[in-house]
């Protein structure tokens, strides 16, 4: 039995709106050192919302949802197919739109690239850097730049240096903020819908501060601006609610069979 839709949306609003307001406070973040513990922590948090960490979050959330008591194996299988398919389509579509439509159209340079250009360390303007070619060519350029023993424009922890070299796409909006808020909102809504008052809900509640941490890690690492993560988080929330509405409707049909 699914929880009442109005109650679910009320709880989602109660949790997600304050979380989003916290994200907006990122405009007041100071500039942190990128050599110490905070920077390294931000790096690992960012990775948890990236291509390696995100699948783990998705798998754990899915197992907690379909592993609840009182449903048949066939129902578990269908729910898995529905959730994975819808999540993949929404995330895939959102990622494609970000990387191949929004970012290339707006072509806003990342903050770290602008910083390097302003310091004269990039050896060219930010616009000329992005004109080098695709991400691989830009990454190779930064890798060579950072490998120069004379480079001392910005003090970077080795992991942050490698992260800067790999993150050479355009800046707006933040894909990490989009993905983390998408899945935290999406799975929290499903958890509230399917698990009721189960102890398993603790994991789904924890997704909200996780999403905030992932979003904040991006400006701390200087690879995104507060505007990037604010728009990215809003985009993720909207996509999550669309995905949730579709999944709820499809699971509702399973209950009628």
Q: Where are the domains of the chain?
A: 1-22+39-108+171-257, 109-169
Q: What is the DSSP string of 192-242?
A: HHHSTT-TTHHHHHHHHHHHHHHHHHHHHTTSS-HHHHHHHHHHHHHHHHH
User: CA-CA distance, 246 to 83, in Å (whole number)?
Assistant: 9
Query: CA gyration radius for the chain?
Result: 20
Closest CA to 179 of 23, 8, 80, 51: 51
Contact 65, 79 (CB under 8 A): yes
What tens-digit pLDDT sequence spans the chain (257 residues)? 788 999 999 999 999 999 999 999 999 999 999 999 999 999 999 999 998 999 999 999 999 999 988 888 889 999 999 999 998 898 888 888 888 888 889 999 999 999 999 999 999 999 999 999 888 999 999 999 999 878 888 999 999 999 999 999 999 999 999 999 999 999 999 999 999 778 889 999 999 999 999 999 999 999 999 999 999 999 999 999 999 999 999 998 877 66
Q: Provide the 8-state DSSP code for 100.
A: I
The predicted pLDDT at position 127 comes to 95
Strand ranges (E), the chain: none
How far from the centroid of its chain's Cα atoms is residue 128's Cα?
28
The predicted pLDDT at position 130 comes to 95
Mean confidence (pLDDT) of the chain: 93
Contact 241, 50 (CB under 8 A): no
User: CA-CA distance, 22 to 34, in Å (whole number)?
Assistant: 22
Contact 48, 214 (CB under 8 A): yes
């Amino acid at each position: 039995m699914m929880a009442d839709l109005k109650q679910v949306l009320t709880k989602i609003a109660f949790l997600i709106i304050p979380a989003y307001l916290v994200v907006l406070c990122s405009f007041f973040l100071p500039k942190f050192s990128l050599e110490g513990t905070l920077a390294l922590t931000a790096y690992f948090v960012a990775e948890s919302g990236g291509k390696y960490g995100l699948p783990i979050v998705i798998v754990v959330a899915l197992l907690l949802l379909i592993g609840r008591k009182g449903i048949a194996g066939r129902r578990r299988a269908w729910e898995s197919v529905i959730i994975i398919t819808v999540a993949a389509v929404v995330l895939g579509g959102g990622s494609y739109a970000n990387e191949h439509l929004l970012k290339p159209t707006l072509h806003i340079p990342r903050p770290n690239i602008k910083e390097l250009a302003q310091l004269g360390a990039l050896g060219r303007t930010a616009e000329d850097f992005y004109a080098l070619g695709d991400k691989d060519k830009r990454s190779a350029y930064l890798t060579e730049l950072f490998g120069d023993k004379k480079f001392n424009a910005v003090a970077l922890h080795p992991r942050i240096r490698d992260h800067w070299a790999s993150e050479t796409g355009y800046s707006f909006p933040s894909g990490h903020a989009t993905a983390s808020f998408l899945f935290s909102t999406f799975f929290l809504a499903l958890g509230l819908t399917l698990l009721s008052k189960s102890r398993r809900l603790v994991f789904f509640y924890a997704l909200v501060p996780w999403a905030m941490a992932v979003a904040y890690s991006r400006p701390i690492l200087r690879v995104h601006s507060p505007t990037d993560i604010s728009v990215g988080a809003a985009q993720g929330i909207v996509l999550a609610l669309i995905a949730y509405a579709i999944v709820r409707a499809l699971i509702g049909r399973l209950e009628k069979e």
